[in-house]
């Protein structure tokens, strides 16, 4: 059986490179034990925000200068200054500062040439704007991972570790590879037993990795590499444990690492925005029987949480309490619904037409309530619903969930409802599918934190 592992390091962890080296690369390893590992790295924290846009606030980055036909040369020069400042932070770890600075200068210069060509094509008016701007996002995104991967590999090399930099960004490589072909070509002659591979989280391909996954592309690269190499285990290193509840809400003393769960529960987590891994990145791992471990970069002694395809908890228990307060409930009422076949289909067709997915649905004789992410709110969707049904109501809500691979037990619903009631929380709606792996409660947004704490205490 192979001992190879494919591992991903997130941006927040990457920015703490000293701890990454001590807690992941070197921890309890020496000699040949250092090798047989592939590390897929994200850009340093905040860098992709500078290149594209701030993930949380939406503050525009370099990309938006290109998209709005504005001069992007000055922002690129400022970017180089900022990336060199990041380089200086790691000089004490052994980074060859001159080489790192030269690398980023060359890379950004080449990116600038590509962007100038794209801008000229855009200005001509002969081509689709969408495709050109997507290419610009890909070019810019690749800079972040190439920068962090170069620095990481360079530091390891100067520590006497045989580190192999694998840049899947494809700058200067004009072969029309798909992403899978590029990965296969990059790894075809690697001697894993005598090297650590440091791989960019961005991978260039003819299909465009950001077309479907946008900012989640590094997990897709990680997943595709694991699918190709068939490692003993896939590992994601985060700055926190996958815990039974959010420590920021319930207090670190009131939650513990999950320990074990399955891919179905990982999907349930992703459905409410608490991603252990993006569902479309997890599927190749699940289908190929590759176990996924979530580890805390800053707690190297802890084994983390192992996600497998087959795991079912031996004891009936709730594994995770989670949720989100960034939802909207759209209630569609019409007295003609009762006994009418197709009302739900008609509503869902309108959702489909506007590209809006939902996370929860409840029905009564004359109404159907559908819950969506607030970010997906679409005034035209509401207008279309109002054109077809008597009354449409939109309300801001929060959802709290109990998740578990084996939690179907008598009294769980009553116990949960009682815990919320005791805190004066009104339950707007509740639901659970037949498999009982996810019990959902809709509450007012202002009750979200209190509801998580109440349920966590009741299940403890």
Q: What is the CATH number of the domain that holds 204?
A: 3.40.1160.10
| 3-state DSSP of 133-200 | HHHHHHHHHHHHHHHHHHHHHHHHHHCCCCEEEECCCCCCCCCCCCHHHHHHHHCCCCCHHHCEEEEE
Single residue among 216, 239, 262 that ends a domain in this structure: 239
Three-class secondary structure of residue 107 per DSSP: helix
Q: 244 lies in a domain?
A: no
How many other CB atoms are there within 10 angstroms of residue 151's CB atom? 29
Single residue among 239, 274, 300 that ends a domain in this structure: 239
Same domain, 39 and 186: yes
Instruction: Return d(Cα 1, Cα 226) in angstroms, integer.
Output: 15
Report the CATH number that the domain containing residue 400 is assigned in CATH: 3.30.2130.10
Same domain, 104 and 14: yes
Q: Decide if 66 contacts 115 (C-beta within 8 A).
A: yes
Q: 248 lies in a domain?
A: no
Q: 52 lies in a domain?
A: yes
Q: 268 lies in a domain?
A: no
Q: Kindly report, residue by residue over 54-73, the tens digit of the pLDDT.
A: 888 889 999 999 999 899 99
Q: Decide if 327 contacts 375 (C-beta within 8 A).
A: no
Instruction: Return d(Cα 397, Cα 323) in angstroms, integer.
Output: 11
Token code pair at residue 70: 């504005």
Query: What pLDDT does 457 receive?
Result: 96
User: Where is average pLDDT lowest: 18-22, 157-161, 169-173, 258-262?
Assistant: 169-173
Number of structural domains in the chain: 2
Q: What percent of the chain clears pLDDT 90, i.e. is strictly above it?
A: 86
Q: What percent of the chain clears pLDDT 70, i.e. is strictly above it?
A: 100
Report whether pLDDT(399) > 70: yes
Query: What pLDDT does 1 receive?
Result: 66
Query: What pLDDT does 415 receive?
Result: 96
Q: Pick from 212, 218, 65, 67: which is nearest to 144 by CA? A: 218
* Distance (Å) of CA 3 to CA 37, 190, 193, 195, 336: 9, 15, 9, 13, 62
Burial degree of 188 (CB within 10 A; 0-12, 13-18, 19+): exposed
Burial degree of 174 (CB within 10 A; 0-12, 13-18, 19+): exposed
Same domain, 200 and 325: no
Q: Decide if 9 contacts 171 (C-beta within 8 A).
A: no
Q: Pick from 219, 212, 178, 158: which is nearest to 17 by CA? A: 158
Q: 232 lies in a domain?
A: yes
Q: Decide if 142 contacts 217 (C-beta within 8 A).
A: no
Q: Kindly report, residue by residue over 280-321, the tens digit of the pLDDT.
A: 889 999 999 999 999 999 999 999 999 999 999 999 999 999
- Residue 345: partners with Cβ closer than 8 Å, 6 or more residues away: none
Residues spanned by the domain of 416: 320-459
Q: 409 lies in a domain?
A: yes
Q: Decide if 412 contacts 352 (C-beta within 8 A).
A: no
User: Where is average pLDDT lowest: 4-8, 54-58, 93-97, 297-301?
Assistant: 54-58
Q: Are strands 360-363 and 367-373 parallel, antiparallel or unpaired?
A: antiparallel
Report whether pLDDT(37) > 70: yes
Average pLDDT, the chain: 94
- Residue 354: partners with Cβ closer than 8 Å, 6 or more residues away: 378, 380, 381, 384
Instruction: Return d(Cα 16, Cα 44) in angstroms, integer.
Output: 9
pLDDT band (50, 70, 90) for residue 276: confident
Report whether pLDDT(275) > 80: no
pTM of the model: 0.91
Specify the residue for token string 């037990």: 409
Q: Give the number of C-alpha atoms closer than 13 A to the C-alpha of residue 235, restricted to the C-beta side.
A: 21
Report whether pLDDT(151) > 80: yes
pLDDT band (50, 70, 90) for residue 125: confident
Instruction: Return d(Cα 131, Cα 185) in angstroms, integer.
Output: 26
Q: Which residue has the higher pLDDT, 172 or 318?
A: 318
Same domain, 329 and 233: no
β-sheet bridge partners, residue 403? 320, 438
Kindly report the backbone phi and psi dihedral angles of residue 369, in degrees, each rounded to the nearest multiple of 5, phi listed first: -105, 125
Instruction: Return d(Cα 31, Cα 35) in angstroms, integer.
Output: 8
pLDDT band (50, 70, 90) for residue 124: confident
Token code pair at residue 9: 């390091």
Query: What pLDDT does 278 receive?
Result: 84
Single residue among 239, 254, 286 that ends a domain in this structure: 239
Query: What pLDDT does 26 receive?
Result: 96
Q: 198 lies in a domain?
A: yes
Q: Kindly report, residue by residue over 178-209, the tens digit of the pLDDT.
A: 999 999 999 998 999 999 999 999 999 999 88
Letter string b/e over residues 278-314, b meaning 16 or more CB atoms within 10 A of that residue's CB: bbebbebbbeeebbbbbbbbbebeeebbbbbeebebe
Same domain, 365 and 229: no
Kindly report the backbone phi and psi dihedral angles of residue 417, in degrees, each rounded to the nearest multiple of 5, phi listed first: -60, -40
Q: 261 lies in a domain?
A: no
Token code pair at residue 65: 């200068």
Query: What pLDDT does 212 receive?
Result: 76
Enumerate helices (H) and strands (E) in the chain, giving the number of each.
17, 14
User: Where is average pLDDT lowest: 245-254, 276-285, 353-362, 378-387?
Assistant: 276-285
Same domain, 88 and 219: yes
């Amino acid at each position: 059986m192979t001992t190879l592992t494919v591992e991903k390091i997130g941006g927040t962890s990457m920015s703490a490179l000293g701890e990454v080296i001590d807690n992941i690369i070197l921890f309890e390893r020496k000699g040949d034990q250092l090798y047989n590992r592939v590390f897929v790295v994200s850009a340093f924290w905040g860098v992709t925000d500078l290149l594209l846009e701030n993930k949380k606030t939406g503050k525009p980055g370099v990309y938006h200068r290109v998209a709005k036909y504005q001069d992007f040369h000055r922002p690129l020069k400022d970017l180089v200054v900022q990336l060199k400042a990041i380089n200086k932070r790691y000089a004490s770890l052994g980074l060859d500062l001159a080489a790192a600075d030269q690398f980023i200068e060359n890379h950004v210069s080449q990116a600038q040439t590509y962007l100038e060509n794209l801008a000229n094509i855009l200005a001509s008016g002969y081509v689709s704007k969408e495709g050109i701007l997507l290419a610009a996002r890909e070019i810019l995104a690749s800079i972040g991972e190439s920068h962090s991967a170069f620095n990481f590999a360079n530091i390891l090399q100067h520590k006497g570790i045989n580190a192999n930099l694998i840049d899947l960004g494809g700058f200067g490589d004009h072969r029309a590879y798909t992403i899978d072909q590029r990965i296969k070509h990059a790894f075809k002659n690697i001697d894993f037993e005598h090297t650590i591979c440091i791989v960019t989280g961005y991978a260039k391909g003819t299909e465009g990795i950001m077309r479907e996954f946008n900012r989640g592309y590094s997990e897709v690269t990680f997943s595709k590499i694991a699918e190709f190499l068939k490692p003993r285990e896939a590992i994601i290193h985060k700055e926190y444990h996958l815990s039974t509840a959010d420590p920021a809400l319930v207090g670190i003393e009131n939650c513990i690492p999950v320990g074990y769960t399955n891919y179905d529960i990982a999907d349930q987590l992703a459905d409410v925005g608490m991603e252990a891994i993006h569902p479309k990145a997890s599927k190749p791992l699940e289908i190929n029987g590759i176990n996924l471990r979530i580890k805390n970069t800053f707690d190297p002694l802890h084994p983390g949480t192992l996600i497998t395809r087959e795991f079912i908890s031996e004891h009936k228990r709730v594994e995770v309490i989670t949720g989100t307060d960034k939802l909207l409930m759209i209630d569609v009422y019409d007295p003609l619904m009762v006994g009418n076949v197709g009302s739900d289909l008609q509503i869902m067709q309108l959702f489909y037409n506007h590209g809006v997915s939902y996370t929860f649905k409840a029905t009564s004789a004359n109404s159907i309530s559908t819950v969506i992410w607030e970010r997906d709110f679409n005034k035209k969707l509401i207008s279309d619903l109002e054109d077809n049904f008597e009354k449409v109501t939109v309300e801001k809500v929060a959802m709290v969930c109990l998740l578990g691979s084996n939690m179907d037990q008598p009294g769980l619903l009553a116990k949960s409802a009682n815990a919320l009631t005791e805190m004066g929380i009104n339950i707007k709606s509740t639901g659970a599918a037949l498999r009982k792996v996810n019990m959902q409660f809709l509450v007012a947004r202002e009750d979200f934190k209190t509801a998580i704490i109440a349920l966590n205490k009741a299940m403890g």
